[in-house]
Amino acid sequence: MTMGAGSGAGEGSGADTGADGDPTALTDGVLDSGRLAGLSPADLATEFGTPFYVYDLDLIGRRVEALRAALPRGFRLAFAVKANPALAVVTHLRRCGVGADVASGGELETVLRAGFDSTAVAMTGPGKRDSELQAAVAAGIGFITVESPGELRRLDAIAAAAGKRQPILLRLSVSEDAHLETVRLIGGVEGKFGMPLQTLLETARIAAASKNVELLGIHAFGASNLRDADQLVDHVAQLVEVGRRMAAQTGTQLRLVDAGGGLGIPYSDAETPLDLERLGYGLQALRNRWDSDIELHDMEIVLEPGRFLVGPAGAYVARVVDVKGPDSAPVAILDGGINHVLRPALVQSEHRLAILATDGLRAMVRTTVAGPLCTGIDVFTTGTMLPRPRVGDLVAVLDTGAYGFTEAMPLFLSHPSAAEVAVKSGRAQLIRPRVAPAELLDRQINPDW
């Protein structure tokens, strides 16, 4: 889906709440009335060049507060750093009071450099190297999610060598086809993520007997980009019940359940956003039930939102360098493409797009917008009604604050990388400079054979 010149991505950008004053009715986006994070796109392009990413840090803060306002007691947030590991964004989220979920040693270094208290950091994900586990144990992070019996053995030895007792969760495998019907549909087949239930229970008994790890609870990630509040609530409810079973069989207390991320955002005008009010009501009903249960009264739940917090707060901006084809169906070529924004091609789903023209109304025509790369998949939208593009126009690809810059393929065709810009309180600042191909060449070695 796309938008024309000056259109907003969600009415009411800049407001902290919805029209009814409900802090959970969050509808704003980075583009409002033709301005990005409240600033002129033309001014941003003049100062920083194109292409660039721009992130509205104030909007990120509002989204944190809206989600936090919907959650009941005992729920805490850990930002999924993989969604956007830009140091300035991660540091801002730390200032907003959230924790961090990291999935690599590099992400661990990012959050520590951003000033996170190590106890507010979780490490999840498969294939953790010994060096990454050693760094996490040395840093004293809040917990590590263990993916397999083998990973538990390695972590146990690493913690013992460090003279530490490392808090852990065990990760439950889920059915990829069944989305969040995870607990009912867990099978006996090992997959990339987590352990089948029987393996998890056997591993839990080993962990509970160890002096080097401390078994806190259970983790499972259901599905990505869900906007159905009821599914998310059901996932949490089912996962807690599996955690209760694990605790009962190991004689431990279920203290922590990590329900993963998956909180979604709309990528087109036809999609509805996640209903935070409904999510809050559903989770509060669960909390009321747990509060009357002595085994679960003190249990905490971790949610790992990524794109929900940062996705709508970002846009990718590129310039039209060529327009060809008939006036009724033009093709606009930008100075950046899937080398900077891969997600539309990767998941075969168009993002909302806006031509940021300021020279008055133009005829709406069926327009194709593509990048400069030598591949047919380098296309942002095909035959979509847009104001007729002109060379020099700026085009914004919206909802790219998550899985944008770092999910791209910047080395393809050796174009410069996109710059990254953050805006806070009306002030724009470069947070990652553009990297020229010559800089990458300087890091290569041409052998003297």
Among 22-36, 40-54, 320-334, name the one with the lowest average pLDDT.
22-36
Domain boundaries, the chain: 1-56+312-449, 57-311
Whether residue 105 has pLDDT greater than 80 = yes
Whether residue 393 has pLDDT greater than 60 = yes
Q: How far apart are CA 342 and CA 351, in angstroms?
A: 11
pTM of this prediction? 0.92
Return the sign of the alpha-carbon dihedral for residues 45, 48, 49, 53.
negative
Q: How far apart are CA 313 and CA 85, in angstroms?
A: 14
Whether residue 185 has pLDDT greater than 50 = no
- pLDDT score, position 189: 61
Whether residue 218 has pLDDT greater than 60 = yes
- pLDDT over 90 for what percent of the chain? 87
Q: What is the mean pLDDT of residues 238-243?
A: 96
Whether residue 3 has pLDDT greater than 60 = no
Q: Which residue has the tokens 């940021």?
A: 356
Residue 199's SS3 state is helix
- pLDDT score, position 18: 44
- pLDDT score, position 27: 61
Whether residue 180 has pLDDT greater than 90 = no
Q: What is the CA radius of gyration of the chain?
A: 23
Residue 256's SS3 state is strand
Return the sign of the alpha-carbon dihedral for residues 89, 90, 94, 98.
positive
Q: What is the mean pLDDT of residues 368-387?
A: 96
Q: To which H or E segment does residue 55 belong? A: strand 52-56
Among 28-42, 178-192, 221-235, 282-296, name the one with the lowest average pLDDT.
178-192
- pLDDT score, position 217: 98
**Is domain 57-311 given the CATH code 3.20.20.10 in the classification?**
yes
Residue range 313-346, pLDDT digits in tens: 999 999 999 999 999 999 999 999 999 999 999 9
- Quick one: pLDDT band at residue 181, thresholds 50, 70, 90? very low
Q: Which residue has the tokens 């004689």?
A: 251
Whether residue 4 has pLDDT greater than 70 = no
Residue 158 is encoded by which pair of tokens?
């690493």
CB 336, CB 372: distance < 8 Å: yes
Residue range 123-174, pLDDT digits in tens: 999 999 999 999 999 999 999 999 999 999 999 999 999 999 999 999 999 8
- Quick one: pLDDT band at residue 366, thresholds 50, 70, 90? very high
Whether residue 1 has pLDDT greater than 50 = no
pLDDT mean across residues, the chain = 91
- pLDDT over 70 for what percent of the chain? 91
Q: Which CATH class, in words, describes the domain spanning 1-56+312-449? A: mainly beta
- pLDDT score, position 184: 46
How far apart, in Å, do the first and last CA atoms of the chain sit?
53
Whether residue 359 has pLDDT greater than 90 = no
Q: How far from chain centre, in Å, is Cα 171?
A: 20
